Amino acid sequence: MLARISTQFACTESKLWQKLSKPESLQFVASPMLGFTPVEPGVLGSEWEVGRDYPLKLYFLKFIPLGRHTIQLVKVDRDQKLISSRESGLLAKVWNHDIFFQEIEPGLVSYTDEIEIRAGWLTPLIWLFAHVFYRHRQRRWKVLLRDRQK
């Protein structure tokens, strides 16, 4: 199943690129709904790397374990304004995430998360969760882009 959730951010493409490149941004936008802990210390560096596997422990509400989750960035294309990751975990064997965005006017970016989900009989429930989670993430992105000057 495919989930597609869109919004608009009051920022520039360049500011969004800067935030998207940092694993700490994932921690912020997922919190407190989901938490990610590296399986091995130091796995999450200062920037994401294309082609590298990031094995993580996934937690719901930061303390209910949901098993392992692996993220691999497969494409980062500044010209197409696209970031693609191939992910998998205990509950969702396929969680392929694409981020598309484009500045539609100065200081306003149109942003879309598109997630392909395959989780057997759990797929409809996880698809529903993805809609809730990505709306939460997009609200958190707005906070991060507005309040954080890192």
Query: Quick one: average pLDDT of 29-43?
Result: 93
- For residue 150, name the pLDDT band (cuts at 50, 70, 90): very low
- Cα 104 to Cα 98: distance, rounded to the nearest angstrom: 19
Decide if pLDDT at 143 tops 60. Answer: yes
Question: pLDDT of 50-89, one tens digit each?
Answer: 999 999 999 999 899 999 999 999 999 999 999 999 999 9
Query: Quick one: average pLDDT of 9-37?
Result: 95
- For residue 18, name the pLDDT band (cuts at 50, 70, 90): very high
The domains of the chain, with CATH numbers, are 2-147 (3.30.530.20)
Question: pLDDT of 85-117, one tens digit each?
Answer: 999 999 999 999 999 999 999 999 999 999 999
Cβ neighbours, 10 Å, residue 73: 19
The DSSP annotation for 23-76 comes to: HHHHHHHHTTTEEEEESSTT-S-SS--BT-EEEEEEEETTTEEEEEEEEEEEEE
**pTM of the entire structure?**
0.93
Decide the pairing of beta strands 108-118 and 34-38: unpaired
